[in-house]
């Protein structure tokens, strides 16, 4: 895969890696290929979109990573304090910085920002540099090629989000689809939204009921989808339910956080 090959080539140029995951699905948004590629470089893990999950749930993940000796920062990529990330990177590369300072030289450290599509890599870089230079968007595959950005003694390399070839289980694939890391045009939205409601019915029934004004969520997913369509008034000519629109709405509501704070994978 081209993106992975490019990443491999540039890894030799960088001092550290910023590994951006989605707080709603930390397991599924951790690409096993990255773990191998990264090797011995210092890694700064970012739990991004932390505004979309409950803080107590996230704290368990933070503690888990910390207990494994990993450096981790929870972030809201759209609004963040740049120095938190920059200082953490400088700390991770302190040895190198000091080595050069001892010789009277000042260096920029270099870090590569990696992650699966749509986790917020370019958004974080924009917040760090303080202007909207990198193109962002709530769909996968927005960044097409690697680009360097400089901020306060740190050079950051934005990379296109990459997914590995095969998913180990279906729930990983589904979670990646829900969080918008898999292109929607290869997915059956109605099927996907039914799978989503099935999972959310178990984990966050109150949020679903509140958003769609339901007394209960039918255990039959076809019925559940129709009930939501009815409640939202999504009806097409002839009185049929507009299930495609209903499905899109449900997925958009989850992706944008309108459904409330939902963590799909708990630590």
Ligand X SMILES: Nc1nc2c(ncn2[C@@H]2O[C@H](COP(=O)(O)OP(=O)(O)OP(=O)(O)O)[C@@H](O)[C@H]2O)c(=O)[nH]1
Residues 58-77 contacting Mg ion, CB under 5 A: none
Q: Please list the residues that pair with 208 across neighbouring strands.
A: none
Q: How far, in Å, CA of 200 to CA of 211, rounded? A: 12
In the block, which residue shows the tokens 């409640």?
231
Give the total of residues touching Mg ion (CB under 5 A).
4
Write each residue from 78 to 117 as x if it is in contact with Mg ion (CB under 5 A), else as -, in one continuous string. Answer: ----------------------------------------
Q: Considering the complex, what minimum distance in angstroms separates the CB of residue 162 from ligand X?
A: 8
Task: Give min distance, CB of 168 to ligand X, in A.
Answer: 21
Among 122, 127, 162, 246, which residue sits at the site for Mg ion (rule: CB under 5 A)?
122
Q: Which is nearer to Mg ion, 11 or 142 (CB)?
A: 142
Residue 28 touches which of Mg ion, ligand X, none (Cβ within 5-8 Å per kind): none
Q: Provide the β-strand partners of residue 154.
A: 109, 151
Structure token pair of residue 166? 């095969």
Task: Single out the segment in contact with Mg ion by CB under 5 A; choices: 44-52, 74-82, 139-147, 224-232.
Answer: 139-147
Handedness of CA 144, 6, 46, 124 (dihedral sign): negative
Binding-site partner at residue 42 among ligand X, Mg ion, none, CB < 5 to 8 Å by type: none
**Residue whose Cβ sits closest to Mg ion:** 143
- Binders of Mg ion in range 156-185 (CB under 5 A): none
CB-wise, 32 or 69, nearer to ligand X? 32
Which strand ranges, in their side-by-side order, compose the sheet holding 109-114?
A: 71-74, 43-48, 16-22, 109-114, 154-158, 147-151
Nearer to ligand X, 74 or 194 (CB): 74
Nearer to ligand X, 66 or 133 (CB): 133
Residues engaged in binding ligand X (CB under 6 A): 48-49, 51-52, 76-78, 115, 117-123, 136-138, 140-143, 160-161, 257
Nearest approach, Cβ of residue 158 and ligand X (Å): 7
Among 222, 212, 218, 225, residue whose Cα is nearest residue 253: 212
- Pick what 21 binds: ligand X, Mg ion, none; C-beta below 5 to 8 Å, kind-dependent: none
* Residue from 143, 162, 193, 249 binding Mg ion (CB under 5 A): 143
Q: Is the CB of 218 or the CB of 257 nearer to ligand X?
A: 257
Told to check if 118 binds Mg ion by CB under 5 A, we report no
φ, ψ dihedrals at 46, nearest 5°: -115, 125
Chain residues binding Mg ion by CB under 5 A are 121-122, 142-143
């Amino acid at each position: 895969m081209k993106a992975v090959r490019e990443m491999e080539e540039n890894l030799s140029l960088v001092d550290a890696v910023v590994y951006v995951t989605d707080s709603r699905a930390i397991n599924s948004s951790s690409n096993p290929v990255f773990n191998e590629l990264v090797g011995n470089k210092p890694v700064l893990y970012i739990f991004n979109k932390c505004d979309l999950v409950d803080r107590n749930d996230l704290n368990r993940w933070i503690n888990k990573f910390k207990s494994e000796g990993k450096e981790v920062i929870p972030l809201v990529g759209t609004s963040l304090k740049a120095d938190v990330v920059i200082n953490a990177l400088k700390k991770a590369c302190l040895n190198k910085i000091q080595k050069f300072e001892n010789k009277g030289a000042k260096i920029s450290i270099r870090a590569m920002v990696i992650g699966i599509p749509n986790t917020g890599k370019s958004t974080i870089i924009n917040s760090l540099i303080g202007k909207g230079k990198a193109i962002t968007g709530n769909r996968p595959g927005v960044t097409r090629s690697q680009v360097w950005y400089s901020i306060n003694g740190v050079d950051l390399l934005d990379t296109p989000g990459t997914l590995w070839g095969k998913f180990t289980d279906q729930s990983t694939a589904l979670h990646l689809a829900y969080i918008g890391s898999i292109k929607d045009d290869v997915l059956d939205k109605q099927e996907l939204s039914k799978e989503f409601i099935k999972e959310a019915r178990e984990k966050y029934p109150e949020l679903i009921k509140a958003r769609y004004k339901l007394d209960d969520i039918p255990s039959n997913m076809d019925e559940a989808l129709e009930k939501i369509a009815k409640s939202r008034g999504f009806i097409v000519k002839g009185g049929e339910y507009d299930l495609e629109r209903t499905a899109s709405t449900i997925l958009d509501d989850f992706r944008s956080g309108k459904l409330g704070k939902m963590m799909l994978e708990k630590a």
